[in-house]
Amino acid sequence: MQPEIVKSPEPEPAYRPSWDVYFLKLAMLASERATCPRMHCGCVLVNERHVVSTGYNGSLPGSEHCYNAGCIMVDNHCVRTNHAEINAICQAALHGLSLKGASAYVTNMPCTSCAKALIAAGVKRVIVFSDYHNSLAERFFDEAGVKLERLPMPERSIHYELHKFSSAKPFPEEKAGTEAAKER
């Protein structure tokens, strides 16, 4: 049987993201799980277009969140959470995944400590769309030969038009939402 080639009635959508925008948007999505009101940061570590790990600034597993228990302030910084980059590096370590030669997509310029941790973990390229106060990241990246790229902030929307996809079938209303994730 000869398959039939059916041409798309529409051109490829203009919103289809580049790889860099795709991973930056994933970092923005990760930041939505941040647990401290003072900062929402997301980090996605990528090797050869493969997501190795993701992280957001959040409390240690099983610990109270700043939103519930309050921030633990030292020198005007909240120290209850690990930063997104550290959490992403720790996730990779926990699962035995190498970050040698990886790229880090971060919602903002890493702080000095995170910059040094990314360098030490083998990250070679860092992509951000906003800055961070008092960071010496750039200086350390320069010194280590890590490429830093500042891209525009991606648009804050996800395009998924279920009703437009001819092969998709929405759930009947009574099934949708019954398995809503309860784990926080």
Q: Which of 21, 34, 111, 118 binds Zn ion (CB under 5 A)?
A: 111
Selected catalytic residue, list 4, 10, 32, 85: 85
Query: What would the two tokens of residue 45 be?
Result: 């570590």
78 makes contact with Zn ion (CB under 5 A):
yes
Q: Is 46 in the site for Zn ion (CB under 5 A)?
A: no
Q: Which residues contact 51 (CB under 8 A, 6 or more apart)?
A: 23, 26, 44, 45
90 binds Zn ion (CB under 5 A): no
Alpha-carbon distance of 49 to 7, in angstroms, equals 28
Intra-chain end-to-end CA distance of the chain, in Å = 50
Is 83 among the residues that bind Zn ion (CB under 5 A)? yes
Supply the minimum distance, in Å, between the C-beta of residue 83 and Zn ion: 3
How far from 179 is each of 29, 72, 102, 182, CA to CA, in Å?
21, 35, 35, 8
Judged by CB under 5 A, the number of residues near Zn ion is: 8
Contact residues for Zn ion, defined by CB under 5 A: 36, 66, 71, 78, 80, 83, 111, 114
Where in the sequence numbering do the catalytic residues fall? 85
